[in-house]
Amino acid sequence: MRAKTRIFGEIDIPQDKIITMEKGMIGFSELKNYTLIYNSEKENDKKSIMWLQSMDDGDIAFPVMTPDIIMPDYKPTVNEELLAPLGDLNGENMYVIVTVNVPSDITKIACNLKAPIVVNTDSNKAAQLIVEDDYKVHFPIYDIIKGKKERAGE
């Protein structure tokens, strides 16, 4: 599938890398097809911010990350009925990401733990879900990331 994007220019994504969201993202229900684009040169570098690029509208790309980077014990409670359209999920084929808000003041960077995106990596079906837990929509992450980098000597 080929798309002209605002951030990445023209991209050609193999069909098996297209993620389908039957209901789209919250606020973008008309956009159904996405792909993950990694910030790193290494394919599948899940330790940094990635982009969930819409294949239906090249102007739309959401910065996303795996929540375990900032909250290793993140285990949201989700209504099983909401997961059913994704197919059979287990620990091996379930991939969870969260959207990231990157304002001009980088010290205010935050992620949305209340509405994760769950991807079935076998079927490439995904859904953004509202979890039942008391996770925050705006969870500040700057100090967490800065602390991890300092401990790693970066």
Per the structure, the count of domains in the chain is 1
Pairing of strands 61-65, 139-140: unpaired
The parent domain of residue 17 ranges over: 2-152
Of 32, 40, 39, 41, the closest CA to residue 60 belongs to: 32
Strands (E), the chain: 2-5, 9-12, 19-21, 33-38, 50-54, 61-65, 94-101, 110-111, 117-120, 125-128, 139-140
Average pLDDT, the chain: 92
pTM of the model: 0.91
Instruction: Specify the CATH number for the domain of residue 82.
Output: 2.30.290.10
Q: What is the pLDDT of residues 23-53, one digit of tens each?
A: 999 999 999 999 999 876 555 555 678 999 9
